[in-house]
Amino acid sequence: MIHALLVSLLVITATAHAELKQEQAQLTLQVRSARFQRNLGWGLAAVGFGLLAAGAVATGFGIDDATQSYDQHVVEVLAGVGTMAVGLAFAIPGMVLALRGQNAMTDATWRLRAIAAPVPSGGMVGARLLF
């Protein structure tokens, strides 16, 4: 009877250990995916902000330059406004992607830290959460 209980305890512990390793692997994959998403978002946002700045400079030159004709002013201002529009088209989704990626990465990281890790002898070690 005791032997059967010990065997069932070992089977339950081994099953829990396998499930825990699978969950840790899944969470680690989620962290990597979220980090890629965040970094891609920051890259898009940086390109967008650079285009916004370049468009603002082009618009400013088109408005203030007194040596050009009216048609050249209009072309510079329209080019600057178009560049700023493209910059916004990159910056807004980039910031959303970066913030969602950071949120997913933080969630998966905290879930990884909260998992209790089994010891090979079958015991359990508690997780330490720092706030």
Which residue ranges make up each domain of the chain?
Answer: 2-116
* Dihedral sign, Cα of residue 28, residue 34, residue 37, residue 42: negative
Structure tokens at 117: 């890790």
Contacts for 14 with CB less than 8 Å, ≥ 6 apart: none
* Dihedral sign, Cα of residue 28, residue 33, residue 36, residue 41: negative
Considering only CA atoms, which of 52, 109, 53, 113 is closest in space to residue 86? Answer: 52
> How high is the pLDDT of residue 68?
73
> How high is the pLDDT of residue 31?
92
pLDDT tens string for the chain (131 positions)? 665 555 555 556 656 666 777 888 888 899 999 999 999 999 999 999 999 999 999 998 888 877 778 778 888 999 999 999 999 999 999 999 999 999 999 999 888 887 755 555 555 555 555 65
